[in-house]
Structure 1
């Protein structure tokens, strides 16, 4: 009798471990898409053999493909007709601006998410401005070199 109880407990433990391991793959899929745009999340889930289904949206300032995924959970694997429809991820979208401004609602700049988005946009803006300034300096240098060559040729 004791052997049956030990065997039964061992089988239950093995089943729990295997269920935990199977669930780990799905958990990583939903964590991986949080913070991405819906378009990027759809592409990432597609590479994993899954599809994205919008569960909820907050805000109406953007097209769905530009909205930010705020959370994701695996959809029920059985539909209303009792048929399996695995491989679907329910996503919740924030369709406001990335971070709040005086004109647009969004994540607070005091929140880690809002601060991160703001700093990334600020760094991208500074990089664009630096590239534009370098291109302008290069164009001015080329123009001066052309004028110098023209003066020397006269």
Structure 2
């Protein structure tokens, strides 16, 4: 039994090592769209000559175009007799830009969540400032 477990463990380690050696993650041909809204990323991918395909989606709070791209990679699908080189798979976060006590989203410990929270706080501060600069007085 120990021999079977050690062979299985060694096989898993070989697969992991070969994945690291071959490289994993975003392919070089895929444009850098991580952190963008899907609608903007889709346009960028099309401008680069590709076609965006949603490979995974987390959450349902946002519309598809407002979802945040969390990863992109070249799809390697074989269509009939040839590979489709133009497809780019994307992973989306549709839970929200950043997590709060009442809404899901990216953790503020993550750079994307931290940036989204900073942006939202800045927009709220600008809104408050514009309201203070233009006070409303009752008509006399």
Q: Per-residue CA shift, 1:118-153, capped at 9, x if unaligned?
A: 01111112122223333x24x76xx99xx9xxxxxx
Q: Where is the helix percentage greater, Structure 1 or Structure 2?
A: 1
* 1:75 counterpart residue number: 75
The equivalences for 1:3-152 within 5 A come to 24=28, 26-27=29-30, 29=31, 32-76=32-76, 78-79=78-79, 81-134=80-133, 136-137=134-135
Q: How big is the shift at 1:46?
A: 1.5
Is there any run of 5+ residues in structure 2 with no aligned partner, and where?
Answer: 1-26
> Quick one: distance in 2 between partners of 1:35 and 1:49?
20
TM-score, scaled relative to structure 1:
0.64
Count of matched residue positions in the alignment of Structure 1 and Structure 2: 114
- Show structure 1 runs of 4+ deviating over 6 A: none
Is there any run of 5+ residues in structure 1 with no aligned partner, and where?
Answer: 1-22, 148-154
Q: How big is the shift at 1:94?
A: 0.8
Q: How big is the shift at 1:77?
A: 5.5
